[in-house]
């Protein structure tokens, strides 16, 4: 189930914040469940199997990371983290453990809805068509032909840049951690050595910008400092 | 364990050891030979009747070199030689002349006196030498302690020094308030004898002038009967300060070495005292440091409250007023409501930045700021921060000139630092301000600068803008907004990344703040980054 009508489990220990979220989500047509701590979150999740979970990491009883671990043992239900400032490491850890995305407090409601929408869509399946083509504005990524073009102009990408773009486009609208990029592009065995992921992405960006004089793709790949990257959601 | 059984005093060294005997023979034989030759010459050639006093020379020479016993031996041998070779009847040992008895007694007496005098003199010299050596080693110990950063760092040096000067096999300095919690802080020499049976000695020191004594300690497990000749002696000197035990010096050597001599004992004792005092000083310094930190922290808190209360209240007042206008019973029109909602969002963003800065400042003060450095292209990172200011730059003339330079930074820190600089430029340069954001490579650094055309800061105050809670005095009548936190945070963040900050007068007329960031060196295949 995607978008309004889906059930959101809101796990947040602050009553005021939870009430605002529940009210806002309800006004947008979501159905909501609430939990103020990790234990009741697990109970609610067992009982009602929501479509998406909004999870605050700082819970009074069980560690938020532990909640993610327990849920991921059994299901792929999308989880969006509500993260405090200065929790970059925790945030990355949550994403590496299987959380889908995050919003940093204080967040705007528009941002929250965008994350929820992407998380629900991701649960519905991949964004490429059956030929493995992905289109974002003037950008055409053709995995089958191993080609990338902007407005019909071919962009010459190095193999690693092509792979990076493939992974990023496959996660449109979602944050992709540096660790995930490393594993997907450099391989599972790649550990510890400096891979210059950010430099490769930077070069990829420069090549796309060079083929895009109109600047339509200017903020296609956004840096999320301390976490990784996010490709602009085509539907936003 | 504390039952003292035996005690030990410095033994008198044997009058003639093996080395002494060799020396005696080396001196006495030539001396006697020379004396005999002289006597023969005097008596046979020059007709001197009794030249036996010549042997006095041999006795004196021997006494000078090998002490009383050597002198007496030489005297006796000299008399026997004279008696046998020269006295009538020649070639017998019989003494017929009472005068020869006199000579013999004289020789013995002179030998005794000179020997004693020489021995005394030699002992004085040796003592003086030992004192000097002791003083030198003590001096080295105190110097090591006096020039230390912390006591524990110089302990290895002291352990090595003590081991060599006290001639033990291994020496260990252990710190801890009691036997159970003592931990080795420094070790010198190899503790090869560790497994062998050990006799334990402890130095008993009394407050007065009485010399310290080694006291045998029996551990309850050790049998009292046997005192194996093999094995090692383990010597312990407690390190104390103000009666509080702080640790021990442990020295060990094989049983044959005997107990440490008086000079070694004094050295160990003095070293233990000095280490004790140094440790006590360290503790005092640490306590004083903690008190100073607490004082500064208090000062920080009050300055913080003073400085921040205004900046917290203003946005809160705006938010409260704007929220009131959004109530259903308010007669505000739709654009008015929109303006209120936007005002709330703007003020929240302002509060958010303030809170972020305060938290950063707290982490900087507590030394908890840890950068996660990675390699980034500066234009990418800066573009993201600048994009976030998008709407706030409306109405300003903003120029950016940031080439694609690889930098080693923490992306979150750089983002916060740059955001603070942009905030500052907007705040102080006023409406319609010109702002320039530029970067260039300078040596192995990348210099990122933010310039504005505002009032700037007087030259003599430029150095102070990075101090926390410092607010440059208003050049005009207009009071300056701000908490004096922003630039302090910028400095803390940049320094945590191994960079530097600098404030100057801008070519635009206002303030120019530069961040010097470490340039990253890319591998060759990546170094051909396209420039724009």
Whole-number pLDDT of residue B519 = 94
Q: B529 burial class (0-12, 13-18, 19+ CB within 10 angstroms)?
A: middle
Structure tokens at B43: 């008596």
What are the C-alpha distances in Å from B125 to residues B22, B112, B115, B325?
21, 20, 15, 100
For residue B203, the cross-strand partners are B214
Is B112's pLDDT higher than 50? yes
Structure tokens at B311: 């900046």
Residues of chain A with Cβ-Cβ distance to B387 below 8 Å are: 219
For residue A50, the Cα-to-chain-centroid distance in whole angstroms is: 18
Inter-chain CB proximity B526 and A86 less than 8 Å: no
Whole-number pLDDT of residue A67 = 93
Shortest distance between the Cα of B376 and any Cα of chain A, in A, equals 5
CB distance from B379 to chain A under 8 Å? yes
Identify whether A80 is preceded by a cis peptide bond (ω within 30 of 0).
no
Angle at the Cα of A169 from the Cα atoms of A165 and A175, rounded to 5 degrees: 105
For residue B436, the cross-strand partners are B399, B451
- Complex ipTM: 0.83
Structure tokens at B454: 């505002």
Strand order of the β-sheet with B244-254 is B4-7, B213-217, B198-204, B232-241, B244-254, B170-175, B183-188
Helix axis angle, B378-388 relative to B411-429, nearest 10°? 50
End-to-end C-alpha distance for chain A, whole angstroms: 19
Shortest distance between the Cα of A124 and any Cα of chain B, in A, equals 31
Is B403's pLDDT higher than 90? yes
- CA–CA distance, B341 with B30 (Å, rounded to integer): 116
Inter-chain CB proximity B384 and A194 less than 8 Å: no
pLDDT band at B476 (very low <50, low <70, confident <90, very high): very low
CB distance from B410 to chain A under 8 Å? yes
Among the partner-chain residues A85, A198, A207, the one whose CB lies closest to the CB of B356 is: A85
pLDDT in tens, B174-214: 888 887 788 888 888 876 555 567 788 888 877 666 777 88
Q: Are B51 and B59 in contact (CB under 8 A)?
A: no
**Which carries the bigger pLDDT value, residue B360 or residue B448?**
B448
Whole-number pLDDT of residue B212 = 79
The dihedral region occupied by B252, where left means phi > 0, alpha psi between -120 and 50, and beta the remainder, is beta
Q: Are A40 and A56 in contact (CB under 8 A)?
A: no
Q: Mutating which of B412, B415, B522 best tests the A interface, going by the most A Cβ atoms within 10 A?
A: B412
DSSP letter at B42 equals I
Backbone phi and psi for residue A129, each to the nearest 5 degrees, phi listed first: -80, -175
Give the residue from chain A lying closest to B380, CA to CA. Answer: A202
pLDDT in tens, A62-73: 888 999 999 999
The CA-based diameter of chain A, rounded to the nearest angstrom, is: 55
Whole-number pLDDT of residue B182 = 84
pLDDT in tens, A122-173: 777 666 677 778 888 899 999 888 899 999 999 999 988 999 999 999 888 8
Q: Residue B529 in 3-state DSSP?
A: coil
Shortest distance between the Cα of A182 and any Cα of chain B, in A, equals 14
DSSP letter at B41 equals I
CB distance from B414 to chain A under 8 Å? yes
pLDDT band at B347 (very low <50, low <70, confident <90, very high): confident
DSSP letter at B167 equals T
Pick the range with the lowest mean pLDDT from B267-276, B292-301, B376-385: B292-301
- CA–CA distance, A233 with A172 (Å, rounded to integer): 5
pLDDT, average across residues B93-101 = 72
Whole-number pLDDT of residue B228 = 57
Residues near A178 by Cβ (< 8 Å), separated by ≥ 6? A197, A198, A227, A228, B374
The CA-based diameter of chain B, rounded to the nearest angstrom, is: 152
Q: Are B519 and B405 in contact (CB under 8 A)?
A: yes
Report CA torsion sign: A104, A107, A113, A114: negative
Strand order of the β-sheet with A228-231 is A175-177, A228-231, A221-224
Could you tell me which of A57, A11, A67 has the C-alpha nearest to residue A35?
A11
Question: Mean pLDDT for chain B?
Answer: 80
Structure tokens at A151: 């407005």
pLDDT per residue as tens, chain A (236 positions): 445 589 999 999 999 989 999 999 999 999 999 999 999 999 999 998 999 999 998 888 888 899 999 999 989 899 999 987 666 778 888 998 899 999 988 888 888 999 999 888 877 766 667 777 888 889 999 988 889 999 999 999 998 899 999 999 988 888 999 888 888 888 876 665 567 888 899 999 989 989 988 888 888 998 888 888 999 886 54
pLDDT band at B409 (very low <50, low <70, confident <90, very high): very high
For residue B338, the Cα-to-chain-centroid distance in whole angstroms is: 65
The DSSP result for chain A, as a single string, is --STT-EEEEE-S-HHHHHHHHHHHHHTT-EEEEESSHHHHHHHHHHH--SEEEEES--SSS-HHHHHHHHHHH----EEEEE-TT-HHHHHHHHHTT--EEEESS--HHHHHHHHHHHHHHHH--SS-TTSEEEETTEEEETTTTEEEETTEE----HHHHHHHHHHHHTTTSEEEHHHHIIIII-TT--SS---HHHHHHHHHHHHHHT-TT-TTTTSEEEETTTEEEEPPTT-
Percent of chain B with pLDDT over 90: 13
Whole-number pLDDT of residue B479 = 47
pLDDT, average across residues B19-23 = 76
Angle at the Cα of B459 from the Cα atoms of B457 and B465, rounded to 5 degrees: 50
Shortest distance between the Cα of B360 and any Cα of chain A, in A, equals 9
Is B15's pLDDT higher than 50? no
CB atoms under 10 Å from CB of A11, counted, come to 26
Among the partner-chain residues B363, B384, B526, the one whose CB lies closest to the CB of A199 is: B526
- B461-496 b/e with 16+ CB inside 10 Å = b? ebeebbebbebbeeeeeeeeebbbbbbbbbbbbbbb
- CA–CA distance, B475 with B430 (Å, rounded to integer): 13
- CA–CA distance, A102 with A104 (Å, rounded to integer): 7
pLDDT band at B306 (very low <50, low <70, confident <90, very high): low
Q: Mutating which of A198, A201, A203, A210 best tests the B interface, going by the most B Cβ atoms within 10 A?
A: A198
pLDDT in tens, B320-345: 888 888 888 878 888 888 888 888 98
- CA–CA distance, A141 with A176 (Å, rounded to integer): 18
Q: Mutating which of B377, B381, B413 best tests the A interface, going by the most A Cβ atoms within 10 A?
A: B377
pLDDT, average across residues B48-53 = 78
> Which own/partner pairs from A27-32 qualify as long-range (CB within 8 Å, at least 24 positions apart)?
A28/A4, A28/A113, A29/A3, A29/A4, A29/A5, A30/A4, A30/A5, A30/A6, A30/A116, A31/A5, A31/A6, A31/A7, A32/A7, A32/A8
The DSSP result for B286-348, as a single string, is HHHHHHHHHHHHHHHHHHHHHHHHHHHHHHHHHHHHHHHHTSTT----HHHHHHHHHHHHHHH
Q: Residue B6 in 3-state DSSP?
A: strand
Structure tokens at B27: 């001196």
CB atoms under 10 Å from CB of A121, counted, come to 19
Q: A174 burial class (0-12, 13-18, 19+ CB within 10 angstroms)?
A: buried
Inter-chain CB proximity B532 and A198 less than 8 Å: no
Report CA torsion sign: B106, B111, B117, B118: positive
Shortest distance between the Cα of A14 and any Cα of chain B, in A, equals 18
For residue A177, the cross-strand partners are A228
Q: Are B315 and B351 in contact (CB under 8 A)?
A: yes
pLDDT, average across residues B9-23 = 54
Backbone phi and psi for residue B29, each to the nearest 5 degrees, phi listed first: -60, -50
- CA–CA distance, A232 with A219 (Å, rounded to integer): 7
Residues of chain B with Cβ-Cβ distance to A217 below 8 Å are: none
Whole-number pLDDT of residue B414 = 94
**Which carries the bigger pLDDT value, residue A220 or residue B89?**
A220
Q: Mutating which of A196, A215, A217, A219 best tests the B interface, going by the most B Cβ atoms within 10 A?
A: A196
CB distance from B316 to chain A under 8 Å? no
Residues of chain A with Cβ-Cβ distance to B376 below 8 Å are: 198-199, 202, 223
Residues of chain B with Cβ-Cβ distance to A221 below 8 Å are: none
CB atoms under 10 Å from CB of B145, counted, come to 20
């Amino acid at each position: 189930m995607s978008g309004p009508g889906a059930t959101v489990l809101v796990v947040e220990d602050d009553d005021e914040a939870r009430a605002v979220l529940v009210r806002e989500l309800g006004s947008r047509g979501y159905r909501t469940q609430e939990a103020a701590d990790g234990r009741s979150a697990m109970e609610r999740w067992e009982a009602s199997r929501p479509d998406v979970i909004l999870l605050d990491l700082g819970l009074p009883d069980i560690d938020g990371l532990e909640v993610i671990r327990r849920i991921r043992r059994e299901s792929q239900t999308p989880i969006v983290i509500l993260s405090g400032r200065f929790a970059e490491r925790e945030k990355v850890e949550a994403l590496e453990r299987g959380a889908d995305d995050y919003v940093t407090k204080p967040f705007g409601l528009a941002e929250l809805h965008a994350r929820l929408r992407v998380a629900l869509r991701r649960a519905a399946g991949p964004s490429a068509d059956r030929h493995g083509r992905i289109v974002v504005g003037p950008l055409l990524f053709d995995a089958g032909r191993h080609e990338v073009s902007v407005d019909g102009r071919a962009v010459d990408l190095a193999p690693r840049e092509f792979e990076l773009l493939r992974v990023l486009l496959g996660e449109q609208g979602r944050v992709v951690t540096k660790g995930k990029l490393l594993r997907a592009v450099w391989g599972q065995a790649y550990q510890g050595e400096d891979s210059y992921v950010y430099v490769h992405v930077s070069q990829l960006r420069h090549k796309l910008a060079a083929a895009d004089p109109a600047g339509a793709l200017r903020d296609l790949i956004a840096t999320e400092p301390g976490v990784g990257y996010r490709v602009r959601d085509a539907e936003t | 364990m504390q039952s003292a059984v035996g005690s030990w005093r410095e033994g008198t060294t044997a009058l003639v050891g093996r080395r002494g005997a060799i020396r005696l023979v080396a001196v006495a034989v030539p001396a006697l030979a020379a004396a005999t030759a002289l006597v023969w010459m005097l008596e046979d050639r020059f007709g001197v009747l009794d030249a036996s006093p010549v042997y006095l020379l041999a006795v004196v020479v021997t006494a000078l070199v090998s002490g009383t016993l050597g002198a007496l031996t030489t005297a006796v041998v000299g008399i026997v030689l004279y008696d046998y070779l020269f006295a009538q009847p020649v070639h017998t040992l019989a003494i017929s002349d009472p005068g020869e008895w006199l000579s013999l007694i004289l020789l013995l007496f002179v030998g005794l006196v000179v020997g004693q005098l020489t021995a005394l003199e030699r002992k004085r010299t040796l003592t003086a030498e030992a004192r000097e050596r002791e003083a030198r080693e003590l001096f080295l110990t105190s110097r090591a302690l006096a020039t230390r950063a912390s006591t524990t760092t110089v302990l290895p040096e002291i352990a090595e020094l003590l081991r060599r000067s006290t001639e033990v096999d291994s020496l260990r300095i252990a710190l801890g308030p009691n036997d159970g919690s003592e931990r080795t802080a420094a070790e010198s020499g190899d503790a090869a004898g560790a497994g062998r049976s050990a006799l334990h000695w402890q130095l008993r020191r009394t407050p007065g002038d009485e010399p310290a004594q080694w006291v045998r300690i029996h551990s309850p497990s050790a049998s009292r009967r046997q005192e194996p000749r093999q094995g090692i002696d383990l010597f312990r000197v407690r390190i104390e300060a103000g009666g509080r035990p702080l640790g021990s010096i442990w020295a060990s050597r094989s049983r044959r070495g005997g107990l440490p001599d008086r000079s070694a004992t004094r050295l160990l004792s003095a070293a233990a005292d000095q280490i004790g005092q140094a440790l006590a000083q360290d503790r005092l310094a640490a306590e004083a440091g903690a008190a100073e930190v607490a004082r500064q922290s208090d000062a920080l808190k009050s300055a913080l409250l003073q400085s921040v209360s205004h900046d917290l209240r203003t946005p809160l007042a705006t938010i409260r007023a704007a929220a009131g206008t959004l109530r259903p019973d308010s007669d505000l029109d739709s654009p008015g409501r929109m303006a209120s909602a936007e005002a709330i969002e703007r003020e929240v963003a302002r509060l958010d930045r303030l809170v972020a800065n305060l938290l950063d400042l707290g982490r900087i003060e507590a030394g908890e700021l840890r950068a996660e450095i990675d390699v980034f292209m500066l234009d990418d990172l800066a573009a993201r921060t600048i994009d976030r200011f998008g709407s706030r730059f409306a109405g300003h003339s903003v120029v950016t000139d940031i080439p694609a330079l690889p930098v080693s930074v923490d992306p979150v820190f750089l983002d916060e630092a740059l955001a603070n600089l942009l905030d500052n430029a907007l705040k102080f340069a006023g409406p319609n301000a010109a702002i320039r954001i530029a970067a260039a490579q300078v040596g192995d650094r990348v210099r990122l600068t933010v310039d504005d055309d505002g009032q700037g800061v007087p030259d003599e105050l430029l150095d102070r803008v990075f101090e926390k809670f410092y607010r440059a005095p208003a050049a005009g009548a207009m009071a300056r907004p701000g908490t004096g936190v922003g630039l302090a945070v910028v400095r803390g963040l940049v320094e945590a990344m191994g960079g530097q900050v600098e404030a100057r007068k801008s070519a635009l007329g206002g303030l120019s703040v530069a961040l010097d960031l470490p340039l990253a060196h890319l591998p060759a295949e990546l170094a051909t980054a396209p420039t724009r």
